[in-house]
Chain A
Amino acid sequence: MLEPFSLPFFREGLMEILLLSVAAGLIGSWVILRGLAFYSHAIGTASFPGLVLADGVGFPAAVGAFGMAGVFTLFSGALARSKRTTSDSVTGLILVGSMAGGVILASDVFNSGANVDTLLFGSLLAIDSGDLLLAAAAAAVSILSLLLFSHHWLARGFDEASAPSVGSGSGAYDLALMAIVAFTVIAGLSAVGALLVAALMVVPAATVRMVTSRVTTLQAGSVILVAIEGTLGLWLSFKTDAPPGATIAMVSGVVFAIVAIGRQLRLRRIVAAAATLVVLGGIAAGCGDSGDDSGSDGLRVTATTTQVADFVSEVGGDRIDLTRILQPNTDPHDYEPRPSDVEAVVDASILFRSGGTLDEWGESLLADSGSSADLLDLSYGVPVVLGDGEDADPHWWHDPLNVAVAVQEVDAALASAAPDDAAYFKRNADAYLARIAKLNRQIETCVKKVPEGQRRIVTDHDAFGYFTNRYGIETVGTVIPALTTQAQPSAGDLADLEQTIRDEGVKAIFPESSVSPDLAEALARDTGVSTGYTLYGDTLGPEGSDGETWIGMMESNTDSVVLGMTGGSQRCGPDDG
């Protein structure tokens, strides 16, 4: 029951949540008392353009977030004080502006990589010393600010109109509160993410607020409740293998609901009993679900993406114990690690990753888990690379020649980790390489049957460069103009694309299986082309689909592309080779 506590990354996550509970509880109390809940929620999201800027220009993410939060606070404070609008509508206004600014920066200025998204979704399982330091600083700042300002916050919150006559007239006190709320939110950003950090500040304090009529009790109670709910949520997430941030938010929400209902019914004892039940129930649920990975005694390896897992599994066969981190059809750009992912990395001998901006979190997962696993970045060895350095297109596996090289690297890595099984791995690798070569010939033959003038496609985002490059297909446009799926096209982009589709006689747009097809479908409606042919881009398909394996994915993609290019008159199957 207590075994998670022996894991170093669990202890770091716990330390982080306990440090955060000081600032979140103390400042959260004032967020509740002064009606700043919406503001505190908005400020995390509003830091988005700061994160994009930091990523694009190349300065630390925390600086970008703080800078943006500072601007946001000053604007909110100034606009709210002009009294023309209520502070909530001001906050909403600036929130929308910030998000819009962030999206424009990400889409049109920097063509941001996927790592921007990971900044918005932090994780308690990937805490480094910088995060701990920031949380400790937030704790210190919140205590200090309480000593200096809270008597003025109290007087202003009680009765702002007559606050001047008791010496609390200055709006600077409110600005200080807003700045400290911002600081706390940013400190929690890397731990639980922009969306959940507000839950950490607002929900526990609101819960305590219902049962106390004293400010000191509210403050102390909130700190304690955040610490309890944080610890319980983190521990539960280990037991149920759910993302910790979301689990903590769930626990807080349930406790809030119980207290609220009980208060409504005036059932103090029942409330206390129910809250205890939730805690005990959580512990029981955690205990009931343990000891699942007895597993085989093969070489333990972990793979980040579905494609990489497929290559490793083809070579390793039943002599390895493979953990796949990403599940099929999950966009790797929107990933938050689960406890089992971290445990898998801790126990693994080798962590295989796809490389580039696609699974950068793999590297921090390895570093933060304290694992001694070797990291093999398959993108380093591939012979065909589109783009340079940081801007390189990470979707290299859409070219079979790259995959052939990656498979040989997987073979070499497995053989050196388990020399006894080297011959077995070699046999598997050779057989797989033969199938890859055959697949390559098949695709070449099939694509060549399409008249040269028709080999043109429009895809969803830039994931298919390697495929079109290999087989002489021209990509005349992409719906999302960047390598990350978080970017958005402008109206002008779409109008240009529609013109291109008409001019070039393109017959189909290919939505990608893990990205929403809405935009592609809207384009198709305007231009009369088909969107019926889905391509597998960032991930393999689920079990039982055509795209379950990499070879199946390539066959399915080829068939779709040929069907789409020829307006449905021609297709490809395994017989074409």
Chain B
Amino acid sequence: MAVSDVGLMTAEHKPVVIADHVELGYGGEVVLGGLEFAVPTGSRVGILGPNGGGKTTLFRALLGEITPLSGGLEVNATSATVAQTDRSRLDYPVSALDVATMGSLARLPWWKRPGKTERSRALEALAEVDLADLARTRFGDLSGGQRQRVLIARTLTADADLLLLDEPFTGLDSKNEERLERLIDRLASSGHTVMIATHEVEQAERWDLVLCLNRTQVSFGDPAVAISKPVLEATYGGHIVEIPGQPNLGVLPAHHHHHHHESGKQS
């Protein structure tokens, strides 16, 4: 699918991300190539791909940490990442509010400390992710799902409109998973563009767009069109049905890819 076609599809706004023949890598070596897509404002984009398939590299490029080796990558938004919470230090002496407040550093001059305004802003962000009542709780004492939402609140405090979620569903129970999905829907409907790296094909099917990566762009577009058996096989390298070590996050065999989950697309 060409860039212009996607642009036509959502004609009102300029896309948030436009990748034009982009190659990404480190030290001259291409890690992820053939990127050719456009993401409209307010869309939810699932990113499928094996570990080492290039998801992290793509995120780093969207955050501006690395520049493309070739091609044009346009990001018309403030981007912020939500890492997996086990990468944060759980013994750290910070409350949920402290973490949410950290986001304001992105908007302040480097020497300026977050003050009252920033903290009340952070409190609002926590309220947006349904955590206002736990603002004073130590970050490490929260559940995995709550920590994930605190980190999302941090990106809201940073005024980011392109949110990059790195496998946010890892380790969540079904209740928290649903809650996070609803939050993603809400963020999208309020104008945030959300790109979510995930291993679950079913989830990706419920979102607006999907990007399949395996060291190169395998496919991009409306999940109904862009996800197919050959695409998944190219993405995950053949017959993998379950991701090793993550039995709950299996890649379903191709014959399951008929829309069991229409109900997921609720906004």
Contacts and interface: CB of A to CB of B under 8 A. Distances in A.
A and B assemble together: yes
B105 interface: yes
B125 to A, nearest CB: 13
Given A148-B111, A162-B83, A165-B63, A33 B93 contact: yes
Interface string A276-316: 00000000000000000000000000000000000000000
A502 interface: no
Interface residues of A, number: 26
Interface string A160-197: 01101111111000000000000000000000000000
Interface in B61-112: 63, 65, 79-83, 87-89, 92-95, 98-99, 102-103, 105-108, 110-111
Contact of A166 (B65, B92, B93, B158): B158
Contacts of A449: none
A interface majority secondary structure: helix
Contacts of B160: 165
Interface string A86-99: 00000000000000
A215 B99 CA distance: 12
Contacts of A152: 105, 110
B138 A168 contact: no
A159 B88 contact: yes
A158 B89 contact: yes
A165 B88 contact: no
Contacts of B199: none
A453 to B, nearest CB: 71
B103 A159 contact: no
Contacts of A168: 102, 105
B148 interface: no
Contacts of B107: 167
Contact of B102 (A155, A164, A209): A155
A532 interface: no
B113 interface: yes
A212 B93 contact: yes
Contacts, number: 75
Nearest to A216: B93
A213 interface: yes
A214 interface: yes
A147 interface: yes
B111 A158 contact: no
Contacts of B110: 152, 167, 170
Interface in B15-66: 63, 65
A266 interface: no
Given A162-B81, A164-B65, A151 B105 contact: yes
B111 A215 contact: no
Given A157-B89, A161-B87, A213-B138, A166 B106 contact: yes
Contact of B105 (A159, A166, A212, A218): A166
Contacts of A165: 63, 79-81, 106, 155, 158, 160
A158 B99 contact: yes
Interface in A199-238: 209, 212-215, 218
Choose among B89, B105, B108 the residue with the greatest number of A CB atoms under 10 Å from its CB: B105
A154 B94 contact: yes
A161 B60 CA distance: 10
A341 to B, nearest CB: 43
Contacts of A218: 93
A5 to B, nearest CB: 36
Nearest to B105: A167
Contacts of B80: 162, 165-166
Contacts of B105: 151-152, 155, 166-168
A556 B219 CA distance: 93
A322 to B, nearest CB: 56
Contacts of B95: 214
Interface string A114-156: 0000000000000000000000000000000001101110110
Contact of B93 (A159, A162, A169, A213): A213
Contacts of B65: 164, 169
A147 B113 CA distance: 7
Given A165-B158, A166-B80, A166-B106, A158 B113 contact: no
B171 interface: no
B149 interface: no
B90 to A, nearest CB: 10
Contacts of A169: 65
Residue among A148, A154, A158 facing the most chain B CB atoms (10 A cut-off): A158
Most buried by A among B81, B93, B139, B151: B93
Contacts of B87: 159, 161-162
A403 B190 CA distance: 94
Nearest to A32: B93
24 contacts: A33-B92, A151-B102, A151-B114, A155-B102, A157-B89, A158-B88, A158-B102, A159-B87, A159-B88, A161-B83, A161-B87, A162-B151, A164-B63, A165-B106, A166-B80, A166-B102, A166-B154, A167-B106, A167-B110, A209-B93, A212-B93, A214-B93, A215-B98, A218-B93
Interface of B: 63, 65, 79-83, 87-89, 92-95, 98-99, 102-103, 105-108, 110-111, 113-114, 138-139, 151, 154-155, 158, 160
Considering the complex of A and B, which 7 residue pairs feature the smallest CB-CB distances, nearest first? Answer: A167-B106, A165-B80, A167-B105, A159-B88, A155-B102, A213-B93, A162-B83
